[in-house]
Every structure is written in structure tokens, then in C-alpha cells.
């Protein structure tokens, strides 16, 4: 018999808050975490804006030697995982740490480390490459370091599907617990790619916004959108088998009831213009949850603020939801955070959970100009009180990766 899976812990460090509470307050208060880039000199770049984690000093969280052994994305993973585990109330007294897994993703990994060490190679020679280069740069190291830091010893997996990575991580963790393999899993994503290589790569493919106005840079579904804004941070949830959670008296935030994932098989960066891949991911998630489209109260859209993503996702929602597409509440929270890439799905799952618990719909902030192609109810600019018992979150990644997860009030 399949197990039920609930969320018992959450943690976050994002451009709008250095912990879970600050981040959610930032969403409710319509805070825009986008500002001028400080992590890199962008004088010669068209791209001027990003969603950086503010007032961040690694030594507030780690010993200096420890911090120097971790890429920035790994630091964010450890910080958010620590908070999520503490928030869950899981301890070695109430849970077997051999049955806690880690499904932690990053879309890009330690790109800042790769950039730094490549510079060392060309400027100083091969002997100046750090012996820590590989274990700092590879994408599984956020999970590896979280395991070491927290002492959890269950299955450890690092799924990479670009901007769908952490939604896939949470979805696959849900399936794992559902089948009884683990009692709990820390799942989510982390990213810290705001460096010269990251900015140059995305800018040269014309994916990034060139706006110099922080309030008009990440503007999902707005007709004047001209690209996404890079963000960074780490976001984690603790998924737990229901009976295990109840036995230890855990606070249950919400239940995960559906997951679907597909591939476009269309293009390396552009979504299928017919939206079939995204639509099928939503259909699979609804089928897994045994729900009809009309049962969904709120959709946290991928909504990246690129022309193709927002129009294609709108089309996909219309295909799945039919006439109800005009009635369901939708928003993109990337106006607040920017696009957290491999961490974005986990952030947005957290926002869905909080929306359910407070019965509100987060707004799509900084929205001004209506786009005829994006004509659904995207909850512009203001928080709306509404019945939110079931929420859906979409994530779409380069390579045609699509992932949808459904969260329900417990």
C-alpha cells in the first residue's frame, strides 16, 4: 500500500530573506529582491540587475576554514537544510537518520569556483589549481555537504534538470517515500551562478533582461518583459511519511499529493511552442493526485519573464484547464526573487505551502502592461485572500524538462 507524504519542515535563503520567515514576509509585503549586481563588475555588460542574497557573510554560518571548502551554492544548501531540519523537529531521538534521504539539486553547481580556478590555470599555471576544485565545483556536493553537516545517511541523489531541478528533486523524493524506501527526505535546490561566466552565457543567448530599473526587470506576463533576471539562494523542504510524522507529533504544513514530469523533445533552450510538454506534466500530476483541473485553487507558474516561456505556459494551462483556466488564480513570484534557476522550484513549493496555510494568493508584482497572449488571472500586484486548499507549481527547464507538483491542505 502506498504511503502518504507530508511536508514537516522548510528552510530558505533567498534574495528577499535570509531565512524562511523573512522570505515569506517578503512575498506577502511585495518585496522586490532584485537590484544592481554587486558580485561581479558588469560595467561592460548589458545585464545590470540580479537577485542576490543580501547581507550575506559565510562566517555568520560557518567557521572560516569550513566556508572556504564550500562553493557559495553549497553554503546556501547547508544553511537552508539546517533550517528545514530544525523546523521539522526531527532529531536522532525520534527518527532513524539512516532512513533520512537527501534529494538536493543545483542546475549549474559551483560555477563561481570553475570561473575562479580557470583564471588560476591561465594566469598562474596548472600547479595553482586548488586540490579542492573538483569537490567544490561538482553538482552533487551540496547534497554531500548537507549529509556531512547533518549526519543523515539515507539515499542521496542530485538530480539536474536545469530550472526544473528542485521540483524534480521534491517530486522524486515524494515518490521514494510513497513507496516506503525512506521515512523522511530533505529535498530542494540551491544555486549561486551570478558570476561573469553565468551572466555572459545567459546574456549572449539573449535570455536575460537588460532593464536597468529593478521594478521593470523581472515582470512575468507583462507585455514589456524582455528576459529573466538571475537569482540565487537555497530552499529545502522536509518530506515525511505521514504515519512517521504523526508518531513523533510533528507539525504538518501540507501534503504532497501529485507529481508529473515530461520532456518536450523540441529544442535545447526554447519551449515547445504548442506547450504540450508542460501541459502533459500538469495532466500527469493531476492524474497522480486523482484530481480534476477544477480542484486546483492556485497555480504558482514558472513565469520567468521571457516572452516565450510566459506565453507558452499560458497556452499549456489553457489546454489543461479549459474554461476553468480563466478562473483559477495564478501568479509568478519571480518578480520578487528573480529566477533562482535550480532552486526556483523548491522556493515556489514553499510559497504554495504558505499560501495554503494563510489562504492567500501571492501576487505577480511590478505588473503594468497587459499582454493579449497572457490573458489569465495572474493576480497582479496585490495579495488576494482566497480559498487555497490545493496548489500546483510548475517548473520548466532548458532541454525541455517539465515538472509539476501538487500540494494539498492537510
CA angle 106-111-114, nearest 5°?
135
Catalytic position from the list 73, 168, 235, 339: 339
Please identify which residue in the block is written with the cell numbers 550575506.
56
Return d(Cα 228, Cα 265) in angstroms, integer.
23
> Catalytic annotation on 302?
yes
DSSP string, 32-45: ---EE--SS--TT-
> Catalytic annotation on 126?
no
Overall average pLDDT of the 277-293 stretch: 98
Catalytic position from the list 73, 168, 244, 302: 302
pLDDT of residue 256: 99
Residues 125-156: b if buried by 16+ CB within 10 A, e if exposed: eeeeeeeebebbbbbbbbbbbbbebbebebeb
Return d(Cα 143, Cα 213) in angstroms, integer.
36
Overall average pLDDT of the 142-162 stretch: 97
Return d(Cα 40, Cα 48) in angstroms, integer.
10
Query: Which cell goes with 47?
Result: 545585464
Q: Give the Cβ contact number of residue 322 at 10 Å.
A: 11
Q: H or E stretch including 361?
A: strand 360-361
pLDDT tens for 308-334 read 999 999 999 999 999 999 999 999 999
Is the CB of residue 391 less than 8 Å from the CB of residue 355? yes
Query: Pick from 294, 230, 286, 267: which is nearest to 405 by CA?
Result: 286
> Catalytic annotation on 244?
no
Residue 1 has pLDDT above 90, yes or no: no
Max Cα distance, the chain (Å): 64
Phi, psi of 36 (to 5 degrees): -65, 140
The answer to whether the pTM exceeds 0.95 is yes
In angstroms and rounded to an integer, the radius of gyration of the C-alpha atoms of the chain is 20
Q: pLDDT averaged over the chain?
A: 98
Is the CB of residue 271 less than 8 Å from the CB of residue 400? yes
The SS3 of residue 170 is helix
Structural domains in the chain, sorted by start: 5-247 (3.40.47.10), 258-408 (3.40.47.10)
pLDDT tens for 64-111 read 999 999 999 999 999 999 999 999 999 999 999 999 999 999 999 999
Give the N- to C-terminal CA distance of the chain in Å, as an integer.
Answer: 20
pLDDT of residue 132: 96
Query: Which cell goes with 59?
Result: 562566517
Is the CB of residue 191 less than 8 Å from the CB of residue 232? yes
Overall average pLDDT of the 346-351 stretch: 98
pLDDT tens for 213-262 read 999 999 999 999 999 999 999 999 999 999 999 999 999 999 999 999 99
Q: Give the Cβ contact number of residue 369 at 10 Å.
A: 11
Amino acid at each position: 500500500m502506498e504511503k502518504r507524504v507530508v511536508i514537516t519542515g522548510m528552510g530558505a535563503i533567498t534574495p528577499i530573506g535570509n531565512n524562511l520567515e523573512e522570505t515569506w514576509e517578503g512575498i506577502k509585503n511585495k518585496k522586490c529582491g532584485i537590484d544592481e549586481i554587486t558580485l561581479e563588475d558588469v560595467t561592460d555588460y548589458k545585464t545590470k540587475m540580479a537577485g542576490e542574497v543580501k547581507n550575506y557573510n559565510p562566517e555568520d554560518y560557518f567557521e572560516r576554514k569550513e566556508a572556504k571548502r564550500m562553493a557559495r551554492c553549497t553554503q546556501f544548501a547547508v544553511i537552508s537544510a539546517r533550517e528545514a531540519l530544525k523546523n521539522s523537529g526531527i532529531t536522532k531521538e525520534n527518527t532513524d537518520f539512516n532512513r533520512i534521504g537527501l534529494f538536493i539539486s543545483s542546475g549549474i553547481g559551483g560555477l563561481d569556483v570553475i570561473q575562479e580556478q580557470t583564471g588560476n590555470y591561465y594566469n598562474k599555471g596548472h600547479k595553482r589549481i586548488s586540490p579542492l576544485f573538483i569537490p567544490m565545483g561538482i553538482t552533487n556536493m551540496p547534497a554531500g555537504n548537507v549529509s556531512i553537516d547533518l549526519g543523515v545517511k539515507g539515499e542521496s541523489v542530485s538530480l539536474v534538470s536545469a530550472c526544473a531541478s528542485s521540483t524534480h528533486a521534491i517530486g522524486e523524493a515524494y515518490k521514494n517515500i510513497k513507496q516506503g524506501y525512506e521515512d523522511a527526505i530533505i529535498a530542494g535546490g540551491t544555486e549561486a551562478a551570478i558570476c561573469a561566466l553565468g551572466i555572459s552565457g545567459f546574456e549572449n543567448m539573449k535570455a536575460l533582461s537588460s532593464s536597468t530599473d529593478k521594478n521593470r526587470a523581472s515582470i512575468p506576463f507583462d507585455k514589456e518583459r524582455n528576459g529573466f533576471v538571475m537569482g540565487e539562494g537555497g530552499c529545502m523542504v522536509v518530506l515525511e511519511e505521514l504515519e512517521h510524522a504523526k508518531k513523533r507529533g510533528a507539525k504538518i504544513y501540507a501534503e504532497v499529493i501529485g507529481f508529473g514530469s515530461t520532456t518536450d523533445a523540441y529544442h535545447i533552450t526554447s519551449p515547445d511552442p504548442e506547450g504540450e510538454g508542460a501541459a502533459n506534466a500538469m495532466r500527469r500530476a493531476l492524474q497522480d493526485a486523482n484530481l480534476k483541473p477544477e480542484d486546483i485553487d492556485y497555480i504558482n507558474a514558472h513565469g520567468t519573464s521571457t516572452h516565450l516561456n510566459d506565453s507558452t505556459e499560458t497556452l499549456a494551462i489553457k489546454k489543461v484547464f479549459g474554461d476553468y483556466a480563466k478562473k483559477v488564480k495564478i501568479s509568478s513570484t519571480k518578480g520578487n526573487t528573480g529566477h533562482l534557476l535550480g532552486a526556483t522550484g523548491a522556493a515556489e513549493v514553499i510559497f504554495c505551502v504558505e499560501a495554503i496555510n494563510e489562504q492567500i494568493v501571492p501576487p505577480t508584482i511590478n505588473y503594468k502592461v497587459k499582454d493579449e497572449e497572457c490573458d489569465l488571472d495572474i493576480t497582479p500586484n496585490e495579495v488576494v485572500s482566497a480559498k487555497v486548499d490545493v496548489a500546483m507549481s510548475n517548473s520548466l527547464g532548458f532541454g525541455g524538462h517539465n515538472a509539476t507538483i501538487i500540494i494539498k491542505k492537510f
